[in-house]
Amino acid sequence: MTKIVVVTSGKGGVGKTTTSASFATGLAMRGHKTCVIDFDVGLRNLDLIMGVERRVVYDLINVVNDEIKLTQALIKDKQLDKLYILAASQTRDKDALKQEGVERVLEELKAMEFDYIVCDSPAGIETGALMAMHYADEALVVTNPEVSSVRDSDRILGMLSSKTKRAIEGAEPVKEHLLITRYNPNRVEGGQMLSLDDIHEILRTPLIGVIPESESVLQASNQGTPAIHLQGTDVAEAYKDVVARFLGEDKPMRFTEAVKQSWFKRVFGGK
């Protein structure tokens, strides 16, 4: 059975694409055949984050419009043979994303026996975001510990429970997971940042993980490597935990407690 997972947030710049890339990569690392689709038509970026930008020939819209075969547009990851990327189109407008076309693409991927299809949603609440979530079985709602992001996530949670195929047909609702990114435990301890308990209490959605704020994310995107590949970094470990929890494993939260800096480091600097 193929599971469709949408990575969404409402607000832009909170880490949807970073998460989609690492989450899909993590699923493939665990041996699941996974396809990650960029739904951000017009502003594609997943290809850059995945490091496949020079290998994009055809994209999602070409497949949706039936101009080419799906297999021609699927880009196979260089490191993981169970991971495929479907890029978004850069040239056409968002209305090019037709619901019937999207459904057909997803059905074809199911027929190819993918275990997971990860849909990287664009920001906003327009057609692209609605298309990305429409056929979802589960959702990762990416939220930063910051007021506008939390508010937009609440909005998106409302849409997941009213606008998706599952909601409209009265089927079992989309399973929602809250993922908090750019979390800084030291600032939380100082009372300058919403804590994960605060966010959890406000959004009332099960927490699947916390990704700490980290320089490694920029380093990863600079290189075109999903952050989960950066061995030994807290971000990579946190994403691996998210994947494990998604697959049903019980993992305690990590990187959520403030780290005391020694006075030596505080005085003399250093990382």
Partner 1 sequence: MGFLNFFLGEKKSSASVAKERLQLILAHERNGRSSSPDYLPQLQRELVAVISKYVSINPDDIKVHMERQGDLEVLEVKIELPETR
Region binding partner 1 by CB under 8 A among candidate stretches 28-36, 172-180, 194-202, 260-268 = 194-202
Q: Does 192 bind partner 1 (CB under 8 A)?
A: yes
Cα–Cα nearest to 80, from 31, 17, 7? 31
Figure out which of the listed residues 28, 86, 174, 188 binds partner 1, where binding follows CB under 8 A. Answer: 188
Q: What is the CA radius of gyration of the chain?
A: 18
- Four-residue CA torsion sign, 237, 239, 242, 244: negative
At 237, which helix (H) or strand (E)?
A: helix 234-246
Give 33 or 182: the residue with its C-beta nearer to partner 1: 182
Figure out which of the listed residues 113, 169, 191, 271 binds partner 1, where binding follows CB under 8 A. Answer: 191
Q: Does 261 bind partner 1 (CB under 8 A)?
A: no
Query: In one letter, which amino acid is 122?
Result: P
Q: Does 37 bind partner 1 (CB under 8 A)?
A: no
Minimum CB distance to partner 1, residue 202 (Å) = 5
Q: Does 147 bind partner 1 (CB under 8 A)?
A: yes
Figure out which of the listed residues 90, 99, 195, 216 binds partner 1, where binding follows CB under 8 A. Answer: 195
Give 155 or 245: the residue with its C-beta nearer to partner 1: 155
Alpha carbons 223 and 23: distance in angstroms, whole number = 17
Minimum CB distance to partner 1, residue 134 (Å) = 16
Region binding partner 1 by CB under 8 A among candidate stretches 21-29, 57-65, 143-151, 224-232 = 143-151
Minimum CB distance to partner 1, residue 258 (Å) = 13
Alpha carbons 18 and 147: distance in angstroms, whole number = 21
- Count of CB atoms situated within 10 Å of the CB of 237: 17
Strands 75-76 and 83-86: antiparallel
Alpha carbons 196 and 238: distance in angstroms, whole number = 15
Instruction: Scan residues 196-255 and list those touching partner 1 (CB under 8 A).
Output: 198, 202
Query: In one letter, which amino acid is 84?
Result: Y
Give 247 or 258: the residue with its C-beta nearer to partner 1: 258
Number of shown-chain residues binding partner 1 (CB under 8 A): 16
Q: Does 13 bind partner 1 (CB under 8 A)?
A: no
Phi, psi of 6, rounded to the nearest 5 degrees = -100, 140
Region binding partner 1 by CB under 8 A among candidate stretches 112-120, 142-150, 226-234, 251-259 = 142-150
Minimum CB distance to partner 1, residue 36 (Å) = 31
Question: What DSSP letter does each residue of 92-154 carry, written as one string?
Answer: S-GGG--HHHHHHHHHHHHHTT-SEEEEEPPSSSSHHHHHHHHT-SEEEEEE-SSHHHHHHHH
Question: What residue ranges bind partner 1 (CB under 8 A)?
Answer: 146-147, 150-151, 154-155, 158, 188, 190-195, 198, 202
